[in-house]
Amino acid sequence: MDPRAMSRVSADIGPQDRGADVETLQLFLHRFGYLPAPEPRMAIPLGRASEFPAQGEFDDQTRQALTRYQAFRGLAETGLLDAETRTTMAKPRCGFPDLFIGVPEAYAFNGGKWSKTDLRFHVLNASKDLTLEQVRTAVRSALDLWQAVSMLRFSETASASGADLTIRFGTGDHGCGHPFTEGADGKDNVLAHAFPPPPAGGTYAGQTHIDDADTWSVSATPKFGAKDLVTVVAHEVGHALGLSHSNVKTALMFPDYAGPHRHLDQDDVDAITALYGPKASA
């Protein structure tokens, strides 16, 4: 679902509410790891109502999931879809889930890490807005953020077959099972997503997919409406290296995009060095 759909949902919905707005909220919470997939009430097995949210009903599971989302974002934990929460949900963001198992926390890992620190990368295509050379330069800048603080070393390879990390642009259903669900204007608020290292990432391990329906820039001060490619690639590569989202708002690995962020927070440094070790002293 398009996260922008949350901007059209009525504010202040809560317990006892039901209908399409509640279902939209549930789909958002499910997509980003806060709630199991909602089921029609008649399809929920007898005696297992506490395990499944009822589709379109603001039940206790939905309230708890919404409270977890509010906690992750540092919002008032009302358990209601208030105006501030709704506005936050509609912001541009990464498509990687915020949670898997457990509670919100500072830096976390997504179930994998590379067994080596020398990694090869390949850029598969240009975007509609940028040349291949501009994209390659932006990717190199993004990787340099992680390389500067850790034992990781990145080198570019001439083909995808020899790469550990790949970066490509796509739109809509681009073949990985996680389509960019464009709205009527051809866009949604999910900018990109990435897959963790093997084995957790499966067939797509190490891949970063960027929505080419958005407008991309390599400027540190993008024009209005354009997104900074360096910032987004650096964030997504964090996932491809094994990092999950952080609930530290100043971290690069915070889920929401709020403009250019071409630096690592201490939380990001702690995360990447916990996996791969700190950069060796000269």
Of the candidate CATH numbers 3.40.630.10, 1.10.101.10, 3.40.50.1820, 2.60.200.20, the domain formed by 3-90 belongs to 1.10.101.10
Catalytic residue check, 156 = no
> How do the pLDDT tens digits run along the chain, 282 residues long?
556 677 777 767 888 888 989 999 999 999 999 998 876 655 555 555 566 788 899 999 999 999 999 999 999 999 999 999 999 999 999 999 998 744 445 555 666 899 999 999 999 999 999 999 999 999 999 999 999 999 999 999 999 999 999 999 999 889 888 888 765 444 568 999 999 999 888 899 999 999 999 999 999 999 988 999 999 999 999 999 999 999 999 999 999 999 999 999 999 999 999 999 999 875
Catalytic residue, from 23, 77, 156, 236: name it: 236
Q: 205-221 burial by CB neighbour count: b if 16+ within 10 A, else e?
A: bbbbbbbbbbebbbeee
Domain ranges of the chain: 3-90, 118-276
Residue range 118-276 forms a domain whose CATH class is alpha beta
β-strand 207-211 against 190-194: which pairing, if any? Answer: antiparallel
Angle between helices 20-31 and 60-73 (to 10 degrees): 50
- List helix spans (H) across 90-198: 132-147
pTM of this structure? 0.90
